């Protein structure tokens, strides 16, 4: 399982890449994609939607399940990765390249974990 050092993580298994102090890119961690299995579709949020930390913002579908994606931080959606609509499998094959959406005016970042803490958290959750 890969957990890049330069990223931050939420306990709900989203990764966060800081583009600037107030802008981020969000995707699903390797651990998350592995648990979810083969993803077949992504319901992306609307641009301009308000993300609230800890609340569902969009969802991903596998054949027999749908799982919420939570906003790891608060902010405003500025862009969504429409390429995923045609190639949801990218989330499985390249989880850290497959960003879902970008947020601006980011706040509520204090609950994010660094890679080391996130790996520990995943280990605990597996037991």
What residues make contact with other proteins under the rule CB under 8 A?
38, 40-41, 61-66, 88-89
Q: How many CA atoms lie within 13 A of 44 on its CB side?
A: 23
For other proteins, the closer CB: 80 or 112:
80
Phi-psi sector, 62: left (phi>0), alpha (psi -120 to 50), beta? beta
At closest approach, how far in Å is the CB of 7 from other proteins? Answer: 26
At closest approach, how far in Å is the CB of 118 from other proteins? Answer: 27
In the three-class reduction of DSSP (H, G, I as helix; E, B as strand; rest coil), residue 71 is classed as: coil
For other proteins, the closer CB: 16 or 42:
42
At closest approach, how far in Å is the CB of 38 from other proteins? Answer: 4
β-strands 39-43, 24-28: how paired?
unpaired
Phi, psi of 92 (to 5 degrees): -75, -40
For other proteins, the closer CB: 19 or 65:
65
Chain centroid to Cα 103, Å, comes to 12
At closest approach, how far in Å is the CB of 75 from other proteins? Answer: 19
β-strands 50-51, 56-62: how paired?
unpaired
For other proteins, the closer CB: 3 or 35:
35
């Amino acid at each position: 399982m890969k957990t890049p050092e330069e990223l931050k993580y939420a306990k709900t298994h989203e990764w966060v890449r800081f583009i600037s102090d107030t802008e981020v890119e969000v995707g699903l961690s390797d651990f998350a994609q592995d648990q979810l299995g083969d993803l077949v579709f992504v319901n992306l949020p609307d641009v301009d939607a308000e993300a609230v930390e800890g609340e569902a913002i969009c969802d991903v579908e596998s054949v027999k399940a749908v799982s919420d994606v939570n906003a790891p931080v608060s902010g405003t959606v500025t862009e969504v990765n429409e390429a995923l609509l045609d190639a949801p499998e990218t989330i499985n094959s390249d989880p850290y390249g497959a960003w879902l959406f970008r947020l601006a005016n980011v706040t509520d970042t204090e609950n994010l974990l660094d890679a080391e803490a996130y790996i520990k958290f995943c280990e605990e959750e597996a037991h």
